Structure 1
């Protein structure tokens, strides 16, 4: 091959043109040969699209293309050999060869077509790599068996549950191949969200074995419903459930309403891996949340000549200004691992703010580690339906928002660790006890104290347990039943059951509260609290309100209800009357428009917050 001339790309013509590679047939040891040709995406010619992991970026292998050599990575070389047919050619689109990767302008232009490319493919060919431990067929056969089990139980829920419980009793080793399948790098690539998330059928190839993507997704959806079994075997089936048809527009009103926000989609993909931080945004430019609804987002083009900060700022500004629903989902996804403290020396603090790569109100997708509280489908309505009232001073990148200052934080905990509320009687001091004592200033758990000392208000312990679980009993971090949809006594029973079991023999739980625990499921509250509170801080305001907020919040921060925000927000007072956005929060007693009601009754005033 080395004696042949190197392949040189010619510039693509204007319009919806891509390059299609025809792989010539060959045997297992034959050199790779093919032909690259221009293709108009508006025509009806058939092709398949390849999805794979780049791996080592060095191009150490070659393919003879148009009688010239073209270098490619080892992973793509293996993928092409796997999908090459023995007796007939195969027409494919594959990014590494179909795009001139050394031309920034072409890369930017072709990214705009990628969703259309995968959407229009006759099939997506997913190459997972080599099956070095010879376990692919075991994994795929287990999936086929599970699919049959769940299919048999579709019309009989009792049958399905019995068979699923039987599956749980099987040896863990039997599940190991499936566990390793889901752990393969392909499943967390940022680009696969649009590559596999369309209506196009897909086949997964792992070594010499293959399996239908729809079958895998169907099994994953069923396994995700059985939380205990999924956790028992360490199966990350939620990653697969997330991917399924993620780029397909809902086919009826209200279905998958949480997918109508680009910022929410970027948040949900935070676990996905990438090499270029700009691809966190560019990989989603084909999503229908961009194409429809927000004209400012529809105008965004992938541009690899822009810095990461320019890309992140631009998408946040457009998402805020063009949001047809006038919501603050863009601010809800902001997460700061750290923020300058206002208790620092003034000049030093200003220096720290100046050194921040982005304004505090712009999500930095390089530092994203928690779920959000204001899920688009949640029932929280701190704004009472009042739309966002905002503008942006572009010259200084200051966001101006109308809202209400409600309270000031007086005490804050350290960040709550993951699984802090797992039921574990071996621990000497539980978080549920220490937060109650150190932040709320109480010792016993009983029904005597009322929240905010309001004789007609909620029990203080109810407000406490509800705040730690963000007001919901979760079935998954993005799918929760909120307390407005649940009988109050049923909800209270879950938290009371946890307190009764966790603090047994301590004398800290009153007999009346123990009675509330009858029929309660402590694990429901545990799951909800671990999902909501992990990586967040618990606090109390000057007026006694309980707050579950960002881990960066601290004493002196301001709790506000901003118009357009489903959740209240924590702001940090700064120089010249400006504020830093710390993040969203849950505040018991403010989640159903209570602050807006006070405003309308003339009890409090609205103001403009300048956020830098």
Structure 2
């Protein structure tokens, strides 16, 4: 939002020093309803840090609806501000004394993108140097008054205890929009002495937390857990940038770029982050998110991509139309998908991702060496949380499962270079085992057929896809029944393990929930993202432990992009030639590899598939991703 100011009447003066900022000298008034008046003071953070007399208070508040406005006279000029800022300043205004206030909407020239970026970069110092921070939550309601007056530090001077204070807080004050905004976390964490204010009554943040937060790690409600998490971050060591992003993603921000900028100042890895990202409001959101993605990809360790790719799982809902498919949209909430299943096979190459990919061009293209595993032939409807399927009522299935578990009591282990595996001796019980496996398969066919199809309204295309999937799924289940596969318990692996866990009565979170099952061109079954399409390729990239689903990208591209991609990968290979244990020898022949242009759809697991097995040949390609 940009404040409405008449440039002929009010004009910001340039800030002279690198640490210059503005303060409001809020003029006193005995009347709450009289016009707000202030003067603008230019100061520097270094001066304020040394000043023991004229200290300032930082204001933390929610900008609110831009169409709901108030006003303030700044150096005699009337300025339109949001109603929330108007209310906060009125509640802070003293009857007889001038107060020094820092409020972002007025103290930063929001129309000057260069200044705005510079001031946002100083926000950590602005809040940490402020003598106090006032968190203004809104008007003084009866519930807010009950909570604040129970705090020893409340400004009324009278303490009133309440036995229902926790319940009142979680149903009222902790529902305030302030707790859902992205900027407030930095403002709180960096503040030396935060106070919570409603109307003209306030109390120290620490007192509020002491009253409401349980000593146990787990709180009794979502609202209390948010409060506890915010409070535990105060005074602690700074968190990694990725941790901050994942914990705060999807929170309210008027400008989606602030999902990044609001977390930079409190990240312990800020120094390395600044090599990739600087606060710059001239950059588009897409450019910013892609720069962040590049930083995370290159700086979060050897398993970076394995940790990184799940964060893009919500991108099918993204409103950032030009955003690369591999760059997470941090303005969206997390997908809350359970981590994708990984096999425990050790007999495979341990490849370093960084030796096999490069970022090229503008807009950024991510080029990565890998090979195709399979192609999606058909897919099911999206699998719901298993709670919706009334798992406990499936008597025949549960009885068969119990009998199978009895058969698997006498298992034995074998271990080799590929990992550890359980085996079971079914001699004399082969027919019974096959019959029980068919019971399990029949239950899954009912679920994937009539039950899910009838559970909600699907398009004709979805139903046709589902019908085709059921045919391939039935063939796969029938082929598995005679095999001596451990179908239940901790000894099960692959799809058997995933299907067993999904229909457990204990309702354990499952990697199948929120995803689809698919059949592949080679007759296998896979777990795929919800936005999969027929013909999507399943690929293993060099390094990541998880296979990925890609979709061909036929959009126009830069004329020399393929040449640039191969040049970049050749340059990367020069840096990694000595790391032969973690690099593909074929990287020396990168000029001979075909370049295939794709977009990332999401993570995948193909039953029985182990990527990069030793003593195996691959048809390597360069996958150029946007």
Structure 2 counterpart of 1:136: 144
Distance 2:338 2:345 in 1: 9
Structure 2 counterpart of 1:387: 353
Deviation string, structure 1 residues 86-114 (Cα, Å, up to 9, x no partner): 45443221101111223222222211112
Do 2:516 and 2:527's aligned partners in 1 also have CA atoms closer than 8 Å? yes
Structure 1 counterpart of 2:447: 434
Do 1:383 and 1:567's aligned partners in 2 also have CA atoms closer than 8 Å? no
Shift of 1:366: 5.2
User: After the TM superposition, which residues 449-528 of structure 1 pair with which residues of structure 2 at under 5 Å, given as runs?
Assistant: 455=485, 463-464=494-495, 466-467=497-498, 495=501, 499=504, 501=505, 522-523=506-507, 525=508, 528=509
Distance 1:21 1:560 in 2: 58
Distance 1:582 1:108 in 2: 34
2:611 is aligned with 1:595: yes
Shift of 1:583: 1.4
Residues 337 and 391 of structure 1: CA distance in aligned 2, closer, same or farther (over 3 Å)? closer
Distance 1:374 1:270 in 2: 18
2:32 is aligned with 1:18: no
Do 2:19 and 2:46's aligned partners in 1 also have CA atoms closer than 8 Å? yes
Shift of 1:60: 4.2
Do 1:420 and 1:431's aligned partners in 2 also have CA atoms closer than 8 Å? no
Q: Of the candidates 121, 124, 132, which is equivalent to residue 130 of structure 2?
A: 121
Do 1:568 and 1:585's aligned partners in 2 also have CA atoms closer than 8 Å? yes
Shift of 1:369: 5.2
Deviation string, structure 1 residues 211-256 (Cα, Å, up to 9, x no partner): 44345556776499557x53xxxx43444345446587737xxxxx
Residues 14 and 247 of structure 1: CA distance in aligned 2, closer, same or farther (over 3 Å)? farther
User: After the TM superposition, which residues 316-327 of structure 1 pair with which residues of structure 2 at under 5 Å, given as runs?
Assistant: 316-321=293-298, 327=304
Q: Of the candidates 201, 225, 246, which is equivalent to residue 193 of structure 2?
A: 201
User: After the TM superposition, which residues 302-321 of structure 1 pair with which residues of structure 2 at under 5 Å, given as runs?
Assistant: 302-321=279-298
2:292 is aligned with 1:292: no
Structure 2 counterpart of 1:50: 59
Q: Of the candidates 250, 267, 274, which is equivalent to residue 237 of structure 2?
A: 250
Shift of 1:272: 0.7
Structure 1 runs not aligned, ≥5 long: 145-169, 252-258, 340-354, 469-491, 502-521
Structure 2 counterpart of 1:260: 240
2:349 is aligned with 1:370: no
Distance 1:567 1:84 in 2: 57
Q: Of the candidates 180, 185, 204, which is equivalent to residue 188 of structure 1?
A: 180
- Say which SS state the counterpart of residue 367 (structure 2) adopts: strand
Shift of 1:457: 8.8
2:377 is aligned with 1:413: no
Structure of greater Rg: 2
Structure 2 counterpart of 1:159: none
Structure 2 runs not aligned, ≥5 long: 153-162, 396-441, 451-468, 555-594
Distance 2:363 2:281 in 1: 24
Distance 1:220 1:551 in 2: 40
Do 1:467 and 1:586's aligned partners in 2 also have CA atoms closer than 8 Å? no
Shift of 1:458: 7.2
Structure 1 counterpart of 2:223: 236
Distance 1:143 1:535 in 2: 44
Residues 538 and 286 of structure 1: CA distance in aligned 2, closer, same or farther (over 3 Å)? farther
Deviation string, structure 1 residues 544-576 (Cα, Å, up to 9, x no partner): 766444211234433334345354322224557
Structure 2 counterpart of 1:359: 324
Deviation string, structure 1 residues 461-491 (Cα, Å, up to 9, x no partner): 76457537xxxxxxxxxxxxxxxxxxxxxxx
Residues 365 and 205 of structure 1: CA distance in aligned 2, closer, same or farther (over 3 Å)? same
Deviation string, structure 1 residues 284-337 (Cα, Å, up to 9, x no partner): 33242551334523xx33332333333333333444456665722553322356
Shift of 1:186: 1.1
Residues 449 and 422 of structure 1: CA distance in aligned 2, closer, same or farther (over 3 Å)? same
Shift of 1:610: 2.0
- Say which SS state the counterpart of residue 136 (structure 1) adopts: helix
Shift of 1:582: 0.4
User: After the TM superposition, which residues 1-80 of structure 1 pair with which residues of structure 2 at under 5 Å, given as runs?
Assistant: 6-29=9-32, 30-43=34-47, 44=49, 45=51, 46-58=55-67, 60-66=69-75, 68-80=77-89
Q: TM-score, normalised by structure 1?
A: 0.66
Structure 2 counterpart of 1:272: 251
Distance 2:266 2:443 in 1: 44
- Say which SS state the counterpart of residue 278 (structure 2) adopts: coil
Shift of 1:587: 5.8
Deviation string, structure 1 residues 21-80 (Cα, Å, up to 9, x no partner): 233444343543333212212331343211111113258433344455444322112111
Q: TM-score, normalised by structure 2?
A: 0.64
